[in-house]
Amino acid sequence: MPYSPLLIKPFRDELMDVGVKELLTPEEVDKIMAQDGTTLVVINSVCGCAAGMARPAIRMVMENAGVKKPDRVVSVFAGQDLEATARFRNYIADIPPSSPSIAMFKDRELIYFLPKHRIEGRDAHALAEELTGVFEEFLAV
């Protein structure tokens, strides 16, 4: 059963405020995933490691003007946008469900995945540094 929209609004806003686009339907997921270029997908969550580590790390990277960003940065919300999340997980079907998590695609191919167990226990700055390194590696001109 989905969480109360009032409960999760701040968790959604935390990403949307820095330009992350929410995907609310399976059709929106398919449209984004069909595009060439680079796409970062955040599987958002209500858990503590999303609040203390994953979302702050995404914010740090998105707010850093010196970091080249993927063509698209989007999110689905596990436990809330059930159909959109399930559709996205079809694109990474051989990876066990994990939320929060972060995936990066280049020309529709998965090139990086950060599952919950690699988010837990780290601080947001360390995650932001890792994401910055991934962007530098895969977004080089």
pTM assigned to the model: 0.96
Q: How many CB atoms lie within 10 A of CB 123?
A: 12
pLDDT computed for residue 140 by the predictor: 78
Would you say residue 140 lies in a domain?
no
DSSP E strands, the chain: 21-22, 38-44, 72-77, 101-106, 109-114
Would you say residue 137 lies in a domain?
no
* Segment 31-42, tens digit of pLDDT: 999 999 999 999
Tell me the mean pLDDT in the region 51-66: 97
Confidence grade of residue 4 (pLDDT, cut at 50, 70, 90): confident
pLDDT computed for residue 1 by the predictor: 67
pLDDT computed for residue 2 by the predictor: 78
Q: Give the residue numbers spanning the domain of 69.
A: 5-132
Would you say residue 139 lies in a domain?
no
**Can you tell me the distance from the alpha carbon of 141 to that of 123, in angstroms, rounded to the nearest whole number?**
29
User: In this structure, which amino acid lies at residue 56?
Assistant: P
Would you say residue 48 lies in a domain?
yes
The angle at the Cα of 13, spanning 83 to 5, to the nearest 5 degrees, equals 50
* Segment 79-89, tens digit of pLDDT: 999 999 999 99
Contact 92, 35 (CB under 8 A): no
Confidence grade of residue 141 (pLDDT, cut at 50, 70, 90): low
Would you say residue 141 lies in a domain?
no
Would you say residue 103 lies in a domain?
yes
Residues carrying an active site annotation: 47, 49
CATH of the domain at 28: 3.40.30.10
* Segment 77-114, tens digit of pLDDT: 999 999 999 999 999 999 999 999 999 999 999 999 99
Give how many domains the chain has, as a whole number.
1
